[in-house]
Structure 1
């Protein structure tokens, strides 16, 4: 039976809610542990590509300290919150479901808007990035019709991959992950006898702290993206926490070890460490063959990043449609592959259109909107601890309420800092998207009240 737009308190108290692992029973198309680890890996990082500006902006010492400390300040708290709430409410939509259940459907709609826009803008960079890397090997791809054709082909091919199902996407991510990480493991091994530890202590003469912190933030966020497809995970109560712990470890080491190897083995000034310098460093350490391998790995990483981002965004739309926050069409699944094909097509079209624009201010706005969403997510985490202490939590962050508040306090302070340093254009763009989110919510209410739209079913309550 169709239900109203958000979960009621009784929904989470059913027998199956107390055993969310039952969601995975008997379904061979559910995501298992290994593919899920690599999907999370690509939703967050995809390898150390893009970490170079941390060295450029502050020098090796601060870059190494940043990637050593920041996972504890940001990545681990976000992953812990994601693990608790995803296992407590293992339905598609993730953070939208949490905000809806904690504060009501308007909050869910705002959360969905902020996170979807942020993710779509983030995903739009990857087709263009892939074309940029291919242009190093095939110069004709650098501009004009060939570049457009490359971006469109990239987008269409990965949209079809997502159409074939999350199991295929997940195991493809495993192969892409191994392919993108392997040259860095090899580089780190070859670099060992050449490392001079004193090089790790050097700093940049002129430090750009804004670039430094933005680099850390950009390379270590989106841990909660996996929550949007929690309903597709086999035994989520057990699988999600294990996958998040594994992905945090792989991602953190995937940044730290190559940085230690490259900054310790070569004597390059910080100003040389622009985007793509890892390939040059590998060439200096081992030869051109490894440089080319890392450039190929960058293409593989772009493919994995886009595919994982598209999956997360599409299942977020599905979850919002099931909650009644979007038209039911976004929850329609393909008859053979059981994937939300309309949501995939819509997200693919949006990111394809954005791929051809230069949008520095919009990217900054994406960070701002993501920060708003994370503040709401932390608030939902704390409020659900207060409001629903009886909620079944197969994984519970091992801390009391004051400890939970402390867990969210430092990352929240960092989010406020990121938002405070934004310019007026970012505020204006973010306000526009926020107003659009409010508008969509009230338009949906109006249409449903007038009978223009069928009421959306919320995420199926366990056991119903």
Structure 2
């Protein structure tokens, strides 16, 4: 189940063995996207995934407050095995099988039909927008200790609006700009923790890493923090249509990003918990900057705060790219009105960006914990549909071409989904009543929204159309997923 050798593993069948049609390599099929814009290469894609999932250790502090150093450290080692690796592997297989914008919406539509594909799109888009509302909050939380005026009131609200506008404009200017900006922001965000580790070495006390009190663990906060910091591997699939040679690039980038994310969490936690005396109440958003001052002085504190600010900018633009291209992909599949498929002169989905930015502004007033819990709840529902679609496609169409195929059979595919599914139900059960009610209302809106949009389409109040360049989603059809009949 390791991502090692993702790029070189091949399906267990040859691409021409599928009954009903002769398949050719994906690279031989014209891309169902505009050719006038540069595609994203491996390095920018690695950092886009890094920011979709992580962005660095900013936001992991609550895991120590909730459960103490030992469980926090173990969590960021064990949780990737239970959750991150299976999700990344499924994303690699399904994302190369369906290399188009829309990602998981297309997977679920192919396996379960367009109604459930739309529900997947609604829940994942909404959870993504809720998730993106966190980043202005985290950005300002890290700066408020140095600039107290940003702690609340009109200055904080104005700063959040300006930040949202600037980062939204960056998304508008193009995905390649976003990708290379993510590389630069990622390097700047990681470097201060490397320096902090060097400064902290003489002060490390390994006994501090083993502190735990199981009776005082806040399991809800602990699991939500782990879940939020180690999910969203599938979000990069909504950009697959913008990736250069996705059948090789996507699996390779997922592998490198997985290593970067795990190290980016574990190493700073190891430093922070081992180098300073433990006070669990202080471990909350922004505490790494306080640790930096204790270890290296004010200069290191400001560097960490600047890195946090840059990290949140990176996460914002990466998430908005995923959310907006998802809406574009859904419109190209006829699930949303045609105007969502319109691109700006930079190749970006203008209407999708505007909708996603509006959602961020509307939700930015919520607290950090409320935002995390709400987006986790919706994300869980979406992941259940993804697991079902993954297994369903393995059972119904085992010989369909998969440029990257997880080296397990049908039983192995089912078993791989069991641990993360159990984890999903644990997260759902531990949700507060308020979060559960709000999230279920959001799910109910999606169940009604699809029939409403079909009614609008029948009445011709808005124009819906499916791109003729996209392949048929019914794999049983000889002219199936990214294949050609000779």
TM-score, normalising length from structure 2? Answer: 0.88
Check conservation: 1:20, 1:87, Cα contact below 8 A: no
1:315 aligns with 2:325: yes
Shift of 1:192: 2.2
More helix by share: 1
Shift of 1:371: 0.3
| Shift in CA distance, 303/454, structure 1 to aligned 2, threshold 3 Å | same
Shift of 1:186: 1.1
How far apart, CA to CA, are the structure 2 residues paired with 1:148 and 1:260? 34
Match among 156, 167, 174 for residue 165 of structure 2: 156
1:333 aligns with 2:346: no
How far apart, CA to CA, are the structure 2 residues paired with 1:404 and 1:378? 9
How far apart, CA to CA, are the structure 1 residues paired with 2:430 and 2:75? 19
Deviation string, structure 1 residues 252-311 (Cα, Å, up to 9, x no partner): 000111111222222223333222221122222222211111111111111111111111
Counterpart of 2:241 in structure 1 is: 231
Deviation string, structure 1 residues 312-371 (Cα, Å, up to 9, x no partner): 10011111111111111111001x211111111111112112213448556423211110
Check conservation: 2:192, 2:307, Cα contact below 8 A: yes
Counterpart of 2:182 in structure 1 is: 173
Counterpart of 1:67 in structure 2 is: 76
| Shift in CA distance, 236/125, structure 1 to aligned 2, threshold 3 Å | same
| Shift in CA distance, 79/94, structure 1 to aligned 2, threshold 3 Å | same
How far apart, CA to CA, are the structure 1 residues paired with 2:93 and 2:233? 13
**Matched length:** 453
How far apart, CA to CA, are the structure 1 residues paired with 2:146 and 2:370? 30
Q: CA RMSD in A?
A: 2.3
Shift of 1:85: 0.2
Shift of 1:453: 3.2
Counterpart of 1:291 in structure 2 is: 301
How far apart, CA to CA, are the structure 2 residues paired with 1:346 and 1:14? 41
Check conservation: 1:79, 1:244, Cα contact below 8 A: yes
1:389 aligns with 2:405: no
| Shift in CA distance, 249/157, structure 1 to aligned 2, threshold 3 Å | same
Counterpart of 1:4 in structure 2 is: none
Counterpart of 1:270 in structure 2 is: 280
Counterpart of 2:410 in structure 1 is: 401
Check conservation: 2:137, 2:364, Cα contact below 8 A: yes
How far apart, CA to CA, are the structure 1 residues paired with 2:279 and 2:147? 29
1:349 aligns with 2:358: yes
1:243-282 matches, within 5 Å, as 243-282=253-292
Counterpart of 2:9 in structure 1 is: none
How far apart, CA to CA, are the structure 2 residues paired with 1:425 and 1:20? 51
How far apart, CA to CA, are the structure 2 residues paired with 1:259 and 1:365? 25
TM-score, normalising length from structure 1? Answer: 0.92
| Shift in CA distance, 92/14, structure 1 to aligned 2, threshold 3 Å | farther
Check conservation: 2:101, 2:241, Cα contact below 8 A: yes
Check conservation: 1:18, 1:392, Cα contact below 8 A: no
Counterpart of 2:197 in structure 1 is: 188
How far apart, CA to CA, are the structure 1 residues paired with 2:435 and 2:310? 31
Deviation string, structure 1 residues 185-223 (Cα, Å, up to 9, x no partner): 111122223222222111247222222111111110111
1:88 aligns with 2:97: yes
| Shift in CA distance, 367/109, structure 1 to aligned 2, threshold 3 Å | same
1:140 aligns with 2:149: yes
Shift of 1:129: 2.5
Shift of 1:32: 0.5
Where do 5+ consecutive residues of structure 2 fail to align? 1-17, 472-481
| Shift in CA distance, 15/141, structure 1 to aligned 2, threshold 3 Å | same
How far apart, CA to CA, are the structure 2 residues paired with 1:142 and 1:255? 26
Shift of 1:111: 0.4
| Shift in CA distance, 182/154, structure 1 to aligned 2, threshold 3 Å | same
Deviation string, structure 1 residues 236-255 (Cα, Å, up to 9, x no partner): 00000011111110010001
Counterpart of 1:124 in structure 2 is: 133
Check conservation: 1:237, 1:395, Cα contact below 8 A: yes
Check conservation: 1:21, 1:237, Cα contact below 8 A: no
Shift of 1:113: 1.1
Counterpart of 1:221 in structure 2 is: 231
1:364 aligned counterpart, secondary structure: helix
| Shift in CA distance, 232/152, structure 1 to aligned 2, threshold 3 Å | same
Check conservation: 1:71, 1:252, Cα contact below 8 A: yes
| Shift in CA distance, 202/427, structure 1 to aligned 2, threshold 3 Å | closer
How far apart, CA to CA, are the structure 2 residues paired with 1:85 and 1:420? 29
Counterpart of 1:5 in structure 2 is: none
1:137 aligned counterpart, secondary structure: coil
Match among 304, 311, 323 for residue 314 of structure 2: 304
How far apart, CA to CA, are the structure 1 residues paired with 2:401 and 2:263? 33
Check conservation: 1:21, 1:238, Cα contact below 8 A: no
Please say which of residues 364-373 and 307-316 is displaced more in the overlay.
364-373
